[in-house]
Amino acid sequence: MKKTAIILLLAAATAAVFFYRADIFTKKGAIIKRTRFMMDTLCTIQVPNEAGVSKTEAAISRAFDRMAELDIKFNCTNPGSPLYKFNNARVPITDPEIVELVKRALEISRETGGAFDITVQPLVDLWGFFTTSASSQTVPSPQSIKLALSRTGWRRISVKNGAVIAADKDVRIDLGGIAKGYSIGEAVKVLKAAGVRSALILAGGQVQVFGSAAPGVPWKVGVRNPRKEGYIAGLAFDSETGISTSGDYERFFEVNGVRYHHILDPKTGYPARGLMSLSVITQDPVWADALSTALFVMGPQRALEFVKRQSGSEVIIVNAEGEIVTSQADKVR
Ligand code: AMP
Ligand code: MG
């Protein structure tokens, strides 16, 4: 895979130009951009207008519909979903799409030494990032964290004869750290099947592109500053690739000046420490999504070591001190 150059943007003025502003570099109206709220976040698809507005809009619409379908299927709080039935009534999951994604998640758990763990659901539930408003959130007691931890562990689920099964009655699955990447990958497939030759798909903190914004003009993507308006890095993508960012600013609350956020360390049961944000640049959106969550849990040092051992992935880290470190350059501020 072609290596993506990470351009660090230390001046806010230049940074602003970078963020998804493919339109700046192309003719007005040359890019068709549509947005829908899904997966609890804003999703945007941009496609260069090669095939005419109505044809392009129809393709974008089909891609969004596919993402919406997956949003319902992968949502463990939806009583109709196989995940809900598994979590609440131990019904083995046989939906091939979920089975495959769970399999992949378990492989990633193994590769990341358990930093990525889809059985963190009891902890996610306990911390209440998705059920309580930020203002009413409290830090759970050490005893309740211990209890929730005793109900987690990726080795307690397995895939046998095409079904996801639980080793005991307590284990529960949350695909929140990987489903968005899968959904984006499916949107790419739908767009390509509709004849689209290049697109940019954005869902919350994740972007995937293929093709280019215009002939010879790459898609431009910015990496958000985790603490204020503006961007810390810019990327120019002109081949099939993407970026996923996990950050402590997405869902959090503060108590006595301490920030508690939604990326949980499966070993401690508390929010992972040591980072403000971590972005993974790689070709496969599923890998990008899961890896950004996993590396966030691992912390800056282990994350860098992990990525440097890999080929085809880059990482941009903002550590707890606000310093930027990338797999291409050492600490820059
Ligand atoms: P992301 O924003 O992609 O980093 O994913 C965070 C979401 O993944 C959280 O909202 C949880 O639903 C789930 N999650 C939290 N911690 C973990 C973890 N250690 N492994 C897998 N999923 C997690
Ligand atoms: Mg993720």
Whether residue 106 lies inside any domain: the answer is yes
Whether residue 195 lies inside any domain: the answer is no
Residue 13's pLDDT is what? 42
Helix H segments across 151-253?
179-193
Whether residue 135 lies inside any domain: the answer is yes
- Give the range of the structural domain holding residue 132, as residue numbers without chain letter: 94-166
Distance from the alpha carbon of residue 294 to the mean position of ligand 2, in angstroms: 8
The amino acid at residue 122 is P
pLDDT(245) > 90: yes
Highest mean pLDDT among 77-81, 191-195, 232-236 belongs to 191-195
The amino acid at residue 154 is W
Helix H segments across the chain?
12-18, 53-73, 82-89, 96-111, 121-127, 142-149, 179-193, 285-298, 300-309
Rounded CA separation 166/203 (Å): 31
Which range among 42-46, 65-69, 172-176, 308-312 shows the weakest confidence by mean pLDDT?
A: 308-312
| Each residue's pLDDT tens digit, 15-52 | 444 454 555 555 656 899 999 999 989 999 999 999 99
Which range among 12-21, 61-70, 218-227 shows the weakest confidence by mean pLDDT?
A: 12-21
Average per-residue pLDDT for the chain: 91
| Each residue's pLDDT tens digit, 114-148 | 999 999 999 999 999 887 776 778 999 999 999 99
How many structural domains does the chain have? Answer: 1
Torsion of CA 64, 70, 72, 75, to 10 degrees: -130
Distance from the alpha carbon of residue 175 to the mean position of ligand 1, in angstroms: 8
Residue 26's pLDDT is what? 57
Give the ligand 1 atom nearest the CA of 109.
20
Which range among 25-29, 71-75, 93-97 shows the weakest confidence by mean pLDDT?
A: 25-29
Q: Is 117 in the pocket of ligand 1 (CB under 6 A)?
A: yes
Whether residue 140 lies inside any domain: the answer is yes
| Arithmetic mean of pLDDT, 83-103 | 97
Whether residue 5 lies inside any domain: the answer is no
* Entry pTM: 0.93
Whether residue 85 lies inside any domain: the answer is no
* Protein residues placing their CB within 5 Å of the ion ligand 2: 177, 289, 292-293
CATH code of the domain containing 128: 1.10.3980.10
Rounded CA separation 161/1 (Å): 35
